[in-house]
Amino acid sequence: MTTGRQINYPEYENFLDHLQKKGGPFKFVTAHKHFPVGSKVGTAPKARSLEEIRKSVLESPRVKSVISEETLRRKCPSEDVRKEAEEILDEMSHTFNLYNVRSFGYAVCKAMEKLYDGIYVNEQKLLEIRERSKKDCVIFMPSHKTYFDFLLLSLICFQYDIQLPAIAAGQDFMSMKFMAGVLRRSGAFFMRRSFGTDQLYWAVFSEYVQTHVVNNDRTVEFFVEATRSRVGKSLHPKYGMLQMILEPYLRGSVYDIVIVPVSMNYDKILEEKLYAYELLGFPKPKESTGGLLKAREILNNSHGSCFLTFGDPISVRDHFGVTLHRNTFVCQPDSQFVLDVQAKTEIKKFAHHVVEIHNKNAVITVWSVACMTILQTFDRDDQATLSYSGVYTGVQDLITLLNQLGTVVNIQGNLDKNLRYYLEMHADLFEPFDITASDFPLKFIDFPVAHQKQGVPIKVMERAVSRLILTTYSNGMIHAVDSEGIICAILQNCGFSEIEKVRNEFCWLHNLMKREFVTIPGELPQLFEKTLKILETSGILEVSDGKLEIIDEKNANVLGKLVLPYFYNIEMAFEVFSPKKPIISDLAEVVGTVQKNISDAYQDRLPNTRLSFLSTEPIKNAFAALTDFGIFEKSNSGLQINFGKLQQVKTRLANFTKAQISTSKL
């Protein structure tokens, strides 16, 4: 399967063209709709009322059983616990209303017309999904880059007469007051970020989600990454919601469930600057209606196009086949449903498989390649003034290499026109330039920050904002080269070329970086073989007598340099721990120290140091990797560091990066 998509008619249709053909937003939202009505197995299609959905949850054996258990545990009247269950249900439930959807949809359509030049969707897949939704419950699992994701998906479902989804949204949206009500009436239901050990909440929420699946009331939408990716690439998936969705299938309550991965990509992300500030460690502002109204100024600027690629619908029944035996779960009581180890493993692998499809179907833009090219230039001199001609040549060379590897970059028309289009769209990152000139300088501006953070000067933070924005967009293409780059860097740096040794190192490095480069658990050897074949086919290396040999040094070097900065980043995070302080109270306390070390290294102009390393995300991922490797041991006074294990990890990583890291310790 090729990585990347080319946006061409007739595979992709522009939704905004449809909007105009229908006479504009008002006629679009008031058009008569024919949403298919789903049904429960063995019953005729019937649209349930909100009250019927509510009653089915509260009267379910699971919720009634937990109410009884909580009544005994708390030693209180059952009416009190039932009232609490009703309050939980009222707090989370959507109050879907088509009239509200039409009203809100009008405002959304008007905004989309101002924001975007195009909203592209692969239409044939949507027609297929509509047919499947008549028989089985359809679950949309989109990638998550911006708050606009769920608005766009609902809009497209409305256009193609697909039952609008019930959308799992975080409870923090409820602080938006007016907007929370609008979202609730548009199909959003609200979930806590963490359920903890609240058995009553677990029971009510599980039953609420599953009654939609079993009765096929409407499609369901949730984000497998659980939160927006502020870094422009896929996040490590979460499994709880997916397990909840699949439970009715495992119990035999439904014949099948259809999963639809949706890749959502944007030329310009609305929250790009907000993400950069958040990644530097400045607190995320609370969601509020006032904040949304202030954000209206963004409507004055073009954000290019967005691309929704609907993947092939996946039959849960076909996908899991014999790997999950339903007879194991059918007889379990509702309130005591437990997944065995094999079932959990298979469901986790499936979540990662969905993320893999997101990446395969992602639209890689010229801007993503340009940002990667610019970052590579800054690796040589972070304060350089770039030229358009230099960036153009770098982009052209990198696209040629990507094509050689079988990756598609979406180029509309010629490259020069495309690159100028993106530079003009992102002109707010640069000092003024003449886009019509044959060549012109490109100098990034610094963005204001409110105050310095622990030992990091304001000037460094101000410059870091643009570097973090560049990194977010460049991450949109890293999934196409991460494995290839790792193999090339192993061959160049590690001093061995035997296939078995390279495979072992490849698997170890990917395990270390599993939160940076999402892969399918247990399938790294297969990924190695697949990547090897790509590198062989593209003429970058060859296999002979059980050994690997690079035959295209130039491109192998480029691929290695594309991925090594991700390893330099976590390597600098590892250096923060010192035997002088063998116990730390909390990992969060050392994030600021790592940022200070990175800032110091940058100011001293040490090699292999990027300002984007100040991002809190890879630092936290580095600490999570050390936790996976058993470096931290819990004690009464905090986390004790196993320096023997830590040194083993650092030594093996240093053999791969060949970097000279010099930073202060805790």
Alpha carbon separation from 633 to 150, 513, 638 (Å, rounded)? 40, 21, 8
**First-to-final CA distance of the chain:** 46
Q: Could you give the count of Cα atoms lying within 13 Å of 575 in the half-sphere of its Cβ?
A: 20
The string of pLDDT tens digits covering residues 255-288 is: 999 999 999 999 999 999 999 999 999 876 555 4
C-alpha–C-alpha distance, residues 577 and 664, integer Å: 9
Residue where the block lists tokens 């691309």: 307
Residue where the block lists tokens 């310790």: 665
Tell the burial category of 219 from Cβ atoms under 10 Å away from its Cβ (0-12, 13-18, 19+): buried
Mapping DSSP to helix (H, G, I), strand (E, B) and coil, where does residue 553 land? Answer: helix
**pLDDT category, 589, cuts 50, 70, 90?**
confident
DSSP 551: S
Check whether 391 has a pLDDT greater than 50: yes
Domains and CATH numbers, the chain: 12-34+48-360 (3.40.1130.10), 364-478 (1.10.10), 503-657 (no CATH)
Check whether 660 has a pLDDT greater than 50: no
Check whether 577 has a pLDDT greater than 90: yes
C-alpha–C-alpha distance, residues 238 and 348, integer Å: 8
**pLDDT category, 182, cuts 50, 70, 90?**
confident
The string of pLDDT tens digits covering residues 304-322 is: 999 999 999 999 999 998 7
pLDDT at residue 197, as a whole number: 83
Alpha carbon separation from 479 to 231, 232, 376 (Å, rounded)? 13, 11, 17
Q: What one-letter code names the amino acid at 424?
A: E
More confident residue, 176 or 513: 513
Identify the helix (H) or strand (E) that includes residue 142: strand 137-142
Check whether 361 has a pLDDT greater than 90: yes
DSSP 146: S
Mean pLDDT of 153-167: 95
Tell the burial category of 73 from Cβ atoms under 10 Å away from its Cβ (0-12, 13-18, 19+): exposed
| Beta-bridge mates of residue 307 | 120, 265
Contact 96, 164 (CB under 8 A): yes
Check whether 289 has a pLDDT greater than 60: no
C-alpha–C-alpha distance, residues 305 and 501, integer Å: 44
Mapping DSSP to helix (H, G, I), strand (E, B) and coil, where does residue 3 land? Answer: strand
Percentage with pLDDT > 70 across the chain: 93
Residue where the block lists tokens 């707090």: 91
pLDDT at residue 662, as a whole number: 46
**pLDDT category, 335, cuts 50, 70, 90?**
low
- Of the listed ranges 262-266, 566-570, 632-636, the least confidently predicted one is 632-636
Structure tokens at 628: 């996976």
Check whether 485 has a pLDDT greater than 70: yes
pLDDT at residue 295, as a whole number: 54
pLDDT at residue 293, as a whole number: 44
- Of the listed ranges 109-118, 560-569, 633-642, the least confidently predicted one is 633-642
Mean pLDDT of 509-534: 97
| pLDDT, averaged across the chain | 91
| Beta-bridge mates of residue 167 | 188, 221
Tell the burial category of 244 from Cβ atoms under 10 Å away from its Cβ (0-12, 13-18, 19+): buried
The string of pLDDT tens digits covering residues 8-54 is: 999 999 999 999 999 999 999 999 998 887 656 556 567 789 999 99
Q: For the whole model, what pTM was predicted?
A: 0.94
C-alpha–C-alpha distance, residues 597 and 662, integer Å: 9
Rank 150-159, 172-181, 366-375 by mean pLDDT and report only the highest.
366-375
DSSP 10: T
